[in-house]
Structure 1
Amino acid sequence: MSNITKQLAVTVILAVVVFILLPVLGLQLETNIALAAGVLIGGFIVSFIPSSSDSDSTDSPQVYKGASKTLYVGNLPYRANEAAVRELFSKHAKVVSVRLMRDRNTGKRKGFGFVEIAEKDAENAISALNDAEFQQRTLKVREAKDRPAPQQQDDAKLATE
């Protein structure tokens, strides 16, 4: 349950309890005083709900601070999403990020992507997942090549002209 959902649930429960208790206790308060007291009490109670960063939530991945390697993943099914690829790779490595490439014009997936993982897990992940079946496709997994710097691309174009 997200932190906002928890806060909303506590606020609704508190409002219902106060709505029922005030008439039972016979307290007659001015509307503006009751509203101010409710906001103050609600804010005080909600501040004790731990934030999602304090909990061991699996909703948000933990930031990895060690050395990492980027792997190229080819022959991905077009219906595969980042969460499914992350789940697959997390069985073999500490996953830092997943980027699945899309066509700029259509927005459709291109069938390949990049998975950044802990450097120490790279060889294990490559050997385990290269030529592995994933959603009825045979994956091609290898270490990604570094992108050439823009200057190198320009030099290569000039050399071929």
Structure 2
Amino acid sequence: MKSPTSQTVIVAVVFALIAYAITYIVPVSAVLFAGLVFIAAFLAPLVACKTSTNSCSSGSSTNEAISDEDVRTLYVGNLPYRANETAVRELFSTHGSVHSVRLMKDKHTGKRRGFGFVEMASDDLDGAIAALNDTEFQQRTLKVREAKERPDRNEDHNED
């Protein structure tokens, strides 16, 4: 879940204050006030996005917006089993803009499998690979390369 921008929070507070002022001037029930605040919660992000210069569709918390076309995925292998998403994000953030981190877990045991994927800005991908491949992280030597496209699981692999 994305955290709201400060502009979205400000717009939401202004909507809430307007709703409070309306219910103070015109005596109405608490249900109507709650309804106005509920509607304001949906309108605030829309109003903030239209007035903002940054793209609202990106998941980036930095000033530089990352569109879906500018994001590529890295495979990170030989990760320590104790490594978590935050530690991996911090490691890769020193080499560029990180969009997301996913560390794979075993379905049955829930334990980490020792590899994962990091989505980064395309411009930072080559630098991160060069800087982090074959380097030590928590006593393990990382294997970092661009991730390959996953084959479609619905295809029939038993062709003759």
TM-score higher than 0.5: yes
- Report what 1:137 is aligned to: 140
Q: Could you give the per-residue CA deviations for residues 69-114 of structure 1, whole angstroms, max 9, x where no partner exists?
A: 1000000000000000000000001101100000000000000000
Post-superposition shift, 1:150? 2.7
What percentage of residue pairs aligned between the two structures are identical?
62
Distance in 2 between the 1:104 and 1:151 partners?
A: 20
CA–CA separation in structure 1 for the residues paired with 2:60 and 2:123: 19
Hey, what does 1:158 align to over in structure 2? 159
Matched, 1:84 2:91: no
So what's the TM-score if we normalise by structure 2? Answer: 0.59
Structure 2: 5+ residue stretches without partners: 5-29, 31-36, 38-44, 49-58
- Secondary structure, counterpart of 1:124 in structure 2: helix
Match of 1:26 in 2: none
User: 1:115, CA displacement in angstroms?
Assistant: 0.4
Amino acid at match of 2:147: A
When residues 106 and 151 of structure 1 are mapped into structure 2, their CA distance, relative to the original with a 3 A threshold, is closer
Rounded Cα–Cα distance in structure 2 between residues aligned with 1:150 and 1:158: 14
Report SS of the residue matched to 1:158: coil
Aligned residues: 112
Equivalent residue of 1:98, what SS? strand
Counterpart CA distance in 1 for 2:96 and 2:148 is 19
Provide the C-alpha distance between the structure 2 equivalents of 1:106 and 1:146, rounded to a whole number of angstroms.
26
Larger Rg: 1
- Structure 1, unpaired ranges of 5+: 4-35, 37-42, 44-50, 54-59
SS of the residue aligned with 2:80?
coil
Equivalent position amino acid for 1:94 in 2? S
Are 2:106 and 1:103 aligned? yes
Relative to the length of structure 1, the TM-score reads 0.58
Q: Structure 1 CA distance, aligned partners of 2:85 and 2:75?
A: 14
CA RMSD of aligned residues (A): 3.1
